[in-house]
Chains A and B, each alone.
Chain A
Amino acid sequence: DIQMTQSPSTLSASVGDRVTITCRASQSVSSWLAWYQQKPGQAPKLLIYDVSSLESGVPSRFSGSGSGTEFTLTISSLQPDDFATYYCQQYNGYFGQGTKLEIK
């Protein structure tokens, strides 16, 4: 099994900050990695697929990078709507534990 480890579990930041969330796989997942955003009471929303491809309609302040076993989700300038929980996932496999992005 390929396990996904996400960090940090909680991140406190301010509007306008640049933030980075890291996801590490226990072995290579090639480019089969996605990032999701979830707000309370809502279904998860796809942000990034294939490591770095931006889903249609997602603001360009979101970006993904990495390869093999280490990946990052970056939000270049936090907006009020971005405070949520973020998950990485190897396609058809395990999720990271989630990162709750909170307002500082």
Chain B
Amino acid sequence: EVQLVESGGGLVPPGGSLRLSCAASGFTFSSHWMSWVRQAPGKGLEWVANIKQDGSEKYYVDSVKGRFTISRDSAKNSLYLQMNSLRAEDTAVYYCARDQYWGQGTLVTVSS
């Protein structure tokens, strides 16, 4: 069974940084593209970033380019999202995803 478990969310002031982690199990992690998606309060679903199996390709939605970095560690079956220069509009529930499988999400709140 595919399992994705996010961690690392929390309250951070504007301009701050946060690193999200996603522990993957139940499948061969190194064989799949992975991604992060988010949903701000009262808003629609938004894809944030994705990363190729070997980490050689990474793509980002325009609003986070230059601020967020997606990475992965196949030895640890883990996906990460380093978020820098956080803004109020980054407040959202962040989900780790592999194809149609999602984790339960972790809440990131950017506020002073």
Contacts and interface: CB of A to CB of B under 8 A. Distances in A.
| Genuine A/B complex | yes
Contacts of A1: 59
B40 to A, nearest CB: 13
Contact of A94 (B47, B98, B104): B47
B45 A92 contact: no
Interface in A16-37: 32, 34, 36
B33 A89 contact: no
A8 to B, nearest CB: 15
Given A44-B45, A92-B98, A95-B45, 4 more contacts: A92-B47, A92-B99, A93-B47, A98-B44
B45 A87 contact: yes
Interface in B23-52: 33-35, 37, 39, 44-47, 50
Interface residues of B, number: 19
Interface of A: 1, 32, 34, 36, 38, 43-44, 46, 49-50, 55, 85, 87, 89, 91-95, 97-98
A89 B50 contact: no
Q: Which of A50, A85, A87, A91 has the most CB of B within 10 A?
A: A91
A79 to B, nearest CB: 23
B35 A92 contact: yes
Contact of B35 (A43, A46, A50, A93): A93
A95 B47 CA distance: 7
Contacts of B92: none
Looking at chain A's contact residues, the main secondary structure is: loop
B107 to A, nearest CB: 12
A49 B35 CA distance: 16
A86 to B, nearest CB: 11
A93 B58 CA distance: 12
Contacts of A97: 44
B33 A92 contact: yes
A14 to B, nearest CB: 25
Given A1-B59, A43-B105, A95 B100 contact: no
A89 B98 CA distance: 12
A38 B44 CA distance: 10
